[in-house]
Every structure is written in structure tokens, then in C-alpha cells.
Chain A
Amino acid sequence: MKLAYWMYAGPAHIGTLRVASSFKNVHAIMHAPLGDDYFNVMRSMLERERDFTPVTTSIVDRHVLARGSQEKVVENITRKDKEDHPDLILLTPTCTSSILQEDLQNFVDRAAMEANSDVLLADVNHYRVNELQAADRTLEQIVRFYIQKAKKQNSLVTNKTIRPSVNILGIFTLGFHNQHDCRELKILLNDLGIEVNEVIPEGGSVLNLKNLPKAWFNIVPYREIGLMTAVYLEKEHQMPYVDITAMGIIQTEAFIRQIAKVLNFLDKSKNYNFDHYIDQQTRFVSQAAWFARSIDCQNLTGKKAVVFGDATHAVAMTKILVREMGIRVACAGTYCQHDADWFREQVWGFCDEVLITDDHTQVGDMIARVEPSAIFGTQMERHVGKRLDIPCGVISAPVHIQNFPLGYRPFLGYEGTNQIADLVYNSFTLGMEDHLLEIFGGHDSKEVITKSLSTQSELNWTIDAIAELNKIPGFVRGKIKRNTEKFARQNSITDISVDVMYAAKESVGA
């Protein structure tokens, strides 16, 4: 058992449902108790979805516990088949059905005989994989199913398109800025003269999956979801894939160069060279290179930042901060523990320390210890930042509704670099303005009680001492407070007076 009240990645079935509801005309049926369909609320609220989320539940109740689901699951599948005529019905196990160990595959086989739709059982184990791994797996499972089906029916399209073309794998519902990223990638590919063959799963149709091999190669924008599918397609259909995340100027350049390499390998008749395009975009379309050169960014040199998020975004952000803006990343971390080796390898040399954990209190304590000038993390880190008075830019899921902006906010491609530059700059200037205000006695109504997050301080500050503390400029106040408290603890002092403060100051020789 684990004591927890917050998690970065959701349970496995959420990943499966995200895949299912991203495709057009695919219906997921959860084998779950009443109330587990919270996914529908999230999709309806966060994505502000206009359509009914194509997820229903075959409810597990007392009767099911007593005598098994029997006909219930099959009936629910065939009923949905008649009501909505989906192309595919995906039976989704949950933690509950994992323990019940009913033969869901048997139900699926029986229902498949009756239903016009295809019926699949999502192959995920609740206790072994999380949301992201499950989504990756389910996408691969669906692609594999339809490719094999097409092969059997001899309807698989294997002849390549005349012009170079790609599939984009891994654009999802409830993904962090995925819709905007997808649009930006399409723009970029269009500029390079590359057609987009299929985008899956978001907005894609399972009936079109047989066309996947038509494309020359695949693009996997995010590390977490889509890679398994790309590997499968490479193995089965010799389709190369590009898995460099086009986030930041340098990475976008690497992404485009990798595409050129793949194209030159596939098509020896032409010489694909995008150097001119990269140069033009970098210098004039994206403002990020110029921003990095401008006096604004000079002021950020050597400032301390902490980065935490999913592997893709945390790695890309770390590299951008260090290589493109000259910011010092004191700690880079991810909650994608299953991908820890890759993460370490990627941020090697770019940060002082690496933190791999899915325990948000560890992340909070790390931030409190490092005291960065800005945090780039998830919504959880944003709240840690609020408590500690450190500005935070949100760069990764898990997210709130404000991370589903209506306006165009990609993180990928050249427009993405502009967005990121704004995000970084706004985070830091807000912090600096705040400090200036405090130095000149501006707003000082709030008092930070303690900077440690997991344990409450048992120390009392006298009124005089608090007044003295408030005279100290904001940006060092936290440090002085902590040093004093450390001193008090070491000397078993419970009440901190002005005297104690100065004794502490002397003891550290400052």
C-alpha cells in the first residue's frame, strides 16, 4: 500500500479511453462499477467537447460479483452496436475487472459474432502499466488489428504515394496542446513539401488504418505515445520513423534534418536539402533565436530553473533553457519512471541533478531546497510555486482547463518556439518585478509561513522577529528564514526572536 493523494499519470484505462475516443466512430465500453466513467466528465469539461463522449459502462454491481457478468457485457456491446453503429467497439478493463478475472476475451469473441462492428478487448493490465503506457499499447493494438485484417482481406494499401508523405502518430484527446501541435506540424510538413497521409488517433478513422503503409515514413511527436506503433510499422512494413520532438529551435532543426536524411535514404533520385528553409525560419519566422540574442534574454543568463514533467516535454524544455537561453537548470525530472534511462541519457550534461519520481512531495521538497527563480512543470508544480512564491510555467500534463486554450498555442515547430519564449520570459519577469516591488516596499501583505512542504514547522516566530524578517528583501527572505530555523532547530530553540535571527546570521558568517 502507498499513501498518496496526487498522481501524475492516471490509471491504465484512461489511456485506453483516450485512444478510443480520439478515433472517429469508435466506442469504448468499460467493464467497471458505477462512477468509474469520470473520463467522460474530463473530456466534456477540459476539451469542452461538443459531442457525447463515446464511452459507456457495462456496470459491475453486486449481481455481477455474485454470478459474473454473464450476458451483460455481450448485451451491452450488441446494444451499442445497434444504437450507434460504431466501426469498432473496444472493451476496456479497469482495476475492478482486473481482479474479477472474468474471461472478457470470451465475451468479446461472442459479441463479435453478433455485432456488425469490430470488437476488441484492450490488452492492458491495470496494475502493471499507467495511462501513458496503456495508450501507447492500445494504439499499437488497434493499428495491428486493422493492418492484419486488411492483409487477410487483401485490401492493404502498400504502394507508396508519389510525393513524399508521412503519418503523424500520437495526437490525442486530453493531450497537452496536442491539437495545436498537430496543426503546427502540418504547416511545417507542408512547407517541406511533404504530404500528411494519416493523423492518428485524433480525428482518424479506423477504416483508414489500412492506408498507413502508403506513407513514406512516420513521425512520432511525443515520446510517450505512438512509439510502439511506429516500431511495429517499421518491422512489418519497413517504414522508418522520426522520433525527434520538434520542440525548440535546435530540436526542430534536428527534426527537419532527420526527415531529410530519411527522405534521401528512401528516394535516391533526388537530393532533399532543407538548409535554406531552416535558416530562414530560424532567423526570421521564429523570434526565438533573436530573442535569445536580445538584451532581455541576457538578463536571464545563469538564472536557476527547475524542470519537471513527462519525459518529452521535460527533456525538450531542459535543452531549450540551457542551450538556447543560457539558463541554468538545477534539476530536471520526470514522472515517466518507465522511461528513466532515456530521460537520464537525454538530459545528461544539461542539468545539475536528475529526479525520477512520481511522488509529488519529493518534487515539492526538491523545489523548496533548490529555490529556483522559476519552475517549468505540471499543474502540481504550479501550485508548489504558488506556495513558495516562485513563478511557474506549465509545460506538461497533468493539466487544468486553462491548459486547453482556445487560441493557437503550439509547443512544437517554429511557432512553438515563439510560444515557449513568451512562456519562459513571462515566468522570469513576473518573478523579477515581484522582487523589485518587495525591495521598494510594494505589496507585502502575504506572509510565507514555511518553505518546507511535507512537514509543518513547530517553530514560533515572535512578532518582532516577523517584522524584522519582513524588512529583508523578498528574494533572500526565504533563505534567511530557513537558515534561522535551521539554526534554531540545531540549538533546540522553539521561539525565534530578533536575537536568535542575528545569532543565526553570525553562525553562518554572513
Chain B
Amino acid sequence: MSIAQNDSLKFECETGNYHTFCPISCVSWLYQKIEDSFFLVIGTKTCGYFLQNALGVMIFAEPRYAMAELEEADISAQLNDYKELKRLCLQIKQDRNPSVIVWIGTCTTEIIKMDLEGMAPRLEVEIGIPIVVARANGLDYAFTQGEDTVLAAMANRCPSKECNQDNDNSSKSVVKNTGETKTLDIMQGNEVLPISSDISVKNALTKMPSVLPQGSNLVQDFEQQEHPSLVLFGSLPSTVVSVLTLELNKQGINVAGWLPSQRYSDLPILGEDVYVCGVNPYLSRTAMTLMRRKKCKLINAPFPIGPDGTRAWVEKICQVFGIIPKGLEEREIKIWQSLEDYLSLVRGKSVFFMGDNLLEISLARFLTRCGMVVYECGVPYLDKRYQAAELNLLEKTCLEMNVPMPRIVEKPDNYYQVQRIRELQPDLVITGMALSNPLEARGITTKWSVEFTFAQIHGFSNSRDILELVTRPLRRNQIQHFSAKSLVKSTGVTKTLSRDVSLMN
């Protein structure tokens, strides 16, 4: 199949018959990120079975999440939802005493129209713990979009600057309801002090953003410039949070907070003059909520994945704040140089994204810059407005690298994709675990897409980790002689295989 050279990206949409994780999987990383949270997934055995198997060993570490497993009496409304949830939430309060309980609504609660959003505020008052409702179900969303629904719900719980004044405002009543009066006491005037007790006094005095890891004084080394408040959104491991925060500090930009924060009680302050910027491509609902409900200003930038993405991300934020970025170009060049050993492996190779976690556009852009040719970029859902800057950068990168634009397929059909893979024979297919082994058996090299979700891939220094993942199967191919051979019977492989093995001996 020849790929015509296009001058702009082509978008397609297929049937949506593809494999991906259920969005409730977001609890696995969010409960670890938000340390004082408890996630309650209100669903059936099917949801539970998925979590138990997808999360593997995590299950055995007494995780801070559980299933509220619906039984037949719940479905047929013989039991009172409110009373049942109250019973379970009181039990959770007694056993774990979390600062917030996040209810994850599932397909079943959607279908039986369980009014979670209606029940939560009432129950919240009764039991004295905030309850955040996120509908992360498979009817509407795919995999990482689960985080999007949770963060969008949490954005509504972020304190507003005005909440200590007397105007009637929804977040104020919420704060009152939940007995979090401490938050109100501390936020006097515009002076914002960290409210979490485990942040040292010293940090508080230097107006250190409360999201930075304890004991970190990095901020003081850089001259801070006057600019409006900046809040970043997207759940990242705390080390990556400090890396990106530091990157902006170097440009004199102070990060006022992150959504989500390490603790629920440290959610950032949002309001009309707050600028927000996303770090992950799947957070379009959160972005929408921040703009429409919290009146924040969204900085539309490419995502800080890969050195090119990180640079573009920092530059865009600087540009919005009228700051001239310094040292970024050299920084990027240096990172690229340090990646040379991996780049030589991927240059000229072709890659096919089947699509399941919405990171595809950003990764395709990075890999194009690395010298790869992207045949197809499957993606579960594409918000062209939220990803606008990323899509522009992808287009620009393709032109600069003089490679054909990838075909972007929204809601792909795995069956058709496998046909195309057979025809194109790409050097690497990035796909889910359901298809990896069957493709490998047919001599197609694959990489599990899920790993990109859990690995640290943001910022300059983590670019190496992305390439480490991408090149692993390619390096394996270099070592193993028979890996490119088909290992499926009908093609008479067994002979080839044994001959190859004997050659190796």
C-alpha cells in the first residue's frame, strides 16, 4: 500500500469495535496519587473482575478502593440505594477514615439511573466526608478518560478565591457542608498558605506551592516573575510533578497548584484570573469544566511528552505570560543528543498505533520527530479543540521531517486494523494486550500500549523512558533470531523455527 504525501492531517472514523480498558481502571493510579482518598466503584461483578485482573498484584496490598457490588435486589430497587450506600460509606469511614470518597459510577448505575449526583451531597452532610461523583463508564468513555471524569468532578471542589467573602457561591456551601472550615480560616484575604499539616513551616513562609514534595527548596534558586496564577491539571507521579514544576520555575514561572494534588485537602484555588494548562491529552472534559464552571483561562499547548513536546509546552506557557523563554533550545538539543543510541534504532522504522489510551497523537508526534514513520494513529476519541496545539505540532513535525502524514482513525475497528497491519507490515505495532501475543505469533513486532500510561513519560528527562519502551521489542528482535518468523501453525513454521534455532547453536 502506498501512502500518498498529504499536506494536512486526514481524519477518519470507524465503527468503534476496539479493545481498550474500562475507564474505571483510573482508580488504580488515582488512589495512589491522591493519598487520602478512597475510591468506591459502584458496579457489578463484571467491573470487579476487570479491576481484580487488570490491577494484578496491587489488589493484595490493601488498596484504598473497593467495589460496591450491586446485587439483584439493588437492580430491581428492592433495596434503597441511599441506605445501602450510606451503610458502605460508614464502613469505609470507620475502616480507613479517608478525606474524600470518590464514587465511580458505572454502566449499571447509568442504566438503572441511580442518582449518584443527587445522593452524594445529602450523604456527605450525614457522614461528614466529601463525596465526589465521577461517571467513568464504558458507555461513554475509554480507559484514560476515566481520569478525565474524576478530575472534572474534582475541579468543582476546588476552592475559589472569593469563597471567604460573602457572595453566595456553590463551592463555599460545599466546603461548609463537609466541615472543612479549616480551609476557610486559613485563606485570609489573598494570602494563601498551605493547609496541609505535613508541609513545613519554612515552605509556608516562602509561599511555596503546597504541591511540591516536602523539603524541596528548589524554587528559591530562581527569580520569580510577576504573572497570573497558573494551575496545571493531570495526574502524574510526584517525581514527575516536581520535574515539570522545576522546568517552569527555571523560566521564572511559579506553579500555584496541581489538579489533582497529593492530598484532597490541598486542591488548588481556581477562579477567573487563574490560567490552567493540561499535561495529558485525554483531559478535555476537565479543561471544559475549568473554563466554563471555574472561569479559568486555558492555555492550549502541546503536551510535555518528548523533548519537542516539553519545549513547546513550556514555550507556550511562557508566551501566554509574556516571558521570553531562555535556554530551552539548548536543553532540547542536549536531550536529543543523549538519546542518539536509541534514535539510531528507530530511525526510518514504521509504527502503527491501534489506539486505546488517547496518548497516541502526542506519541506519534514524538516518534515522527525521532525519525519514525507513523502509518496509522488510532485514537478512541479526539477532541480537536483541546488537542489543537498538539495536532498542529504533529502536522508541522511531519512536514519538517518530510514524512507522510499519519492517517488518524477515531473509534477504530480492530478487525479492519489487523487487515491493514497485514498489508502494511509495520516495524512496530503499539497495541493492547488482547492483540499483542497473536500479532507477535504472526511475526509482527508489538509494544503494549498500557505501559505508556503507567510509565513516566513527561518532561525532558523522561524522553529516554519513552524510547526505552518503544525500542525494547526492537532490541529484542536484534537478539533473538526467530522473533520475526511466524509462530502460527498453518504456514509451516515449525521447520523454519527449528532450523533457526540450530543456526544459533
Contacts and interface: CB of A to CB of B under 8 A. Distances in A.
Interface residues of B, number: 64
A45 B59 contact: no
A3 B143 contact: no
Interface stretch (B48-56, B195-203, B402-410): B48-56
Interface residues of A, number: 52
B456 interface: no
A59 B56 CA distance: 26
B111 A65 contact: yes
Contacts of A37: 19, 434
A48 B437 contact: yes
B67 interface: yes
Interface string B38-79: 000010111011111110100110010111111110110001
A451 B225 CA distance: 55
A2 B71 contact: yes
B387 interface: no
Contacts of A2: 67-69, 71
B156 interface: no
Interface string B5-45: 00000000000110111110000000000000000001011
Interface in A28-81: 32-38, 40-42, 44-45, 48-53, 56-57, 59-62, 65, 76
B138 interface: yes
Given A5-B65, A35-B20, A51-B441, A127 B50 contact: no
Kindly name the residue among A4, A5, A36, A40 whose own CB sees the greatest number of chain B CB atoms within 10 A: A5
A126 B63 CA distance: 27
Contacts of B17: 56-57, 59, 76
A126 B143 CA distance: 24
A126 B112 CA distance: 15
A95 interface: yes
A94 B418 CA distance: 26
Contacts of A62: 139-140
A128 interface: yes
Nearest to B52: A6
A76 B415 CA distance: 12
Interface in A74-129: 76, 83, 94-96, 99-100, 126-128
Contacts of A386: 60
B438 A1 contact: no
B380 to A, nearest CB: 8
Contacts of B278: none
B415 A83 contact: yes
Contact of A3 (B20, B56, B68, B74): B68
B488 interface: yes
Given A6-B52, A7-B49, A14-B49, A41 B432 contact: yes
B494 interface: no
A203 B235 CA distance: 45
A35 B111 contact: no
A35 B26 CA distance: 13
A193 interface: no
Contacts of A3: 66-69, 88, 91-92
A62 B141 CA distance: 10
B432 A1 contact: no
B318 interface: no
A421 B161 CA distance: 69
A6 B59 contact: yes
Nearest to A47: B437
A13 interface: yes
B60 A383 contact: yes
Contact of B111 (A42, A53, A99, A130): A99
Given A11-B44, A49-B438, A59-B17, A42 B66 contact: no
A406 to B, nearest CB: 14
Given A5-B66, A7-B48, A7-B52, A127 B71 contact: yes
A50 B44 CA distance: 31
Contacts of B23: 35
Nearest to A14: B49
A51 B75 CA distance: 37
A291 B500 CA distance: 42
Interface string A330-347: 000000000000000000
A444 to B, nearest CB: 23
A44 B69 contact: no
B352 to A, nearest CB: 16
A10 interface: yes
Contact of B69 (A4, A36, A455): A4
A1 B487 contact: no
Given A52-B435, A95-B45, 19 more contacts: A1-B68, A4-B66, A5-B65, A5-B66, A7-B45, A34-B16, A37-B434, A38-B21, A38-B22, A41-B19, A41-B432, A41-B434, A44-B436, A44-B438, A49-B438, A96-B108, A126-B45, A380-B60, A400-B56
7 contacts: A3-B91, A4-B66, A33-B137, A34-B20, A42-B53, A44-B438, A100-B111
Interface of A: 1-7, 10-11, 13-14, 32-38, 40-42, 44-45, 48-53, 56-57, 59-62, 65, 76, 83, 94-96, 99-100, 126-128, 130, 380, 383, 386, 400, 455
Chain A to chain B: the 6 pairs with minimum beta-carbon distance, closest first: A35-B22, A33-B138, A40-B434, A50-B441, A383-B60, A11-B45
